[in-house]
Amino acid sequence: MVDRQIVARGVKDERVLAAMRKVPRHEFLPEALRGMVYGDSALPLGDGQTMSQPYMVALMTELLGLTGAERVLEIGTGSGYQAAVLAELCGKVYTVERIKTLADKARATLDRLGYKSVAIKVYDGTYGWKEMAPFDAIMVTAGSPDIPAPLVEQLKEGGRMVIPVGDRYGQELKKVTKTADGTIVERSVPCVFVPLIGNHGWKE
Ligand code: SAH
């Protein structure tokens, strides 16, 4: 999976590649899907939500430029797989999920695999996680109409955020860097994510 789908498409960060090799993706999905889990596609994880394609997980992670000690916020816990990949690469992961059944399942999986540095909260993640801010990096794993202002606020100066921005059916991955006088927004690849539903995202 890593060589064919991820290295071949240009992801180079060795730490990211090692994390992708290490985290057992199949553990985060229902038994019925396990035959497909290392394929080059997104997969359904229940409640109408999807786990991203391995390449997208790796690319988004690489764009955050993690070196080991960071505190990272993820919006959209889903299965917990991306949170586990992040946990391999930083000091502490805070992840927010709006659907409680998914958060509960993710918690159970992460506990079973020993990911103790991941904290999960059930809430509208478009508000971020104010009590734990500021963050060195933020990853949004659902598609947003815009860059939610609370997330920019909760990013440290010099911090990076990756977020798919666009309409409900297609987005572009953006990398947002917070500077002393605002933000720098860089464009990455086209992508398709389930909608970010919340006060600073899509209305239900
Ligand atoms: N990162 C996940 C996949 C995320 S799919 C993984 O590795 O498996 C997108 C997730 O975002 C879904 O679980 C969806 O319920 C969640 N979501 C959508 N809007 C949200 C919001 N406002 N706050 C928190 N989670 C949200």
pLDDT tens-digit series, residues 54-111: 999 999 999 999 999 999 999 999 999 999 999 999 999 999 999 999 999 999 999 9
Q: Is 144 a catalytic residue?
A: no
> For the purposes of burial, counting CB atoms within 10 Å of the CB of 79, is it exposed (0-12), middle (13-18) or buried (19 or more)?
buried
Q: Is the pLDDT confidence value at 33 over 90?
A: no
User: Which H/E stretch holds residue 15?
Assistant: helix 14-22
Q: What is the pLDDT of residues 151-180, one digit of tens each?
A: 999 999 999 999 999 999 999 999 999 999
- For residue 170, the Cα-to-chain-centroid distance in whole angstroms is 17
* Residue 46 reports pLDDT greater than 90: no
Catalytic site residue from 41, 52, 79, 144: 52
Question: Which residue out of 72, 99, 101 has the highest number of ligand 1 atoms within 8 Å of its CB and is therefore the one to mutate?
Answer: 99
What burial class does residue 176 get, using C-beta atoms within 10 Å of its C-beta: 0-12 exposed, 13-18 middle, 19+ buried? buried
Kindly give the distance from the C-alpha atom of residue 81 to the centroid of ligand 1, in angstroms, as a whole number: 11
- The pLDDT score that the predictor gives to residue 76 is 98
Confidence of residue 51 (pLDDT cuts 50, 70, 90): very high
- Kindly report the pTM of this predicted structure: 0.98
Q: How far away, in angstroms, is 141 Cα from ligand 1 center?
A: 6
Pull the structure tokens for residue 27: 């553990």
Instruction: Band the pLDDT of 186: cuts 50, 70, 90.
Output: very high
> For residue 203, what are its two tokens?
């209305």
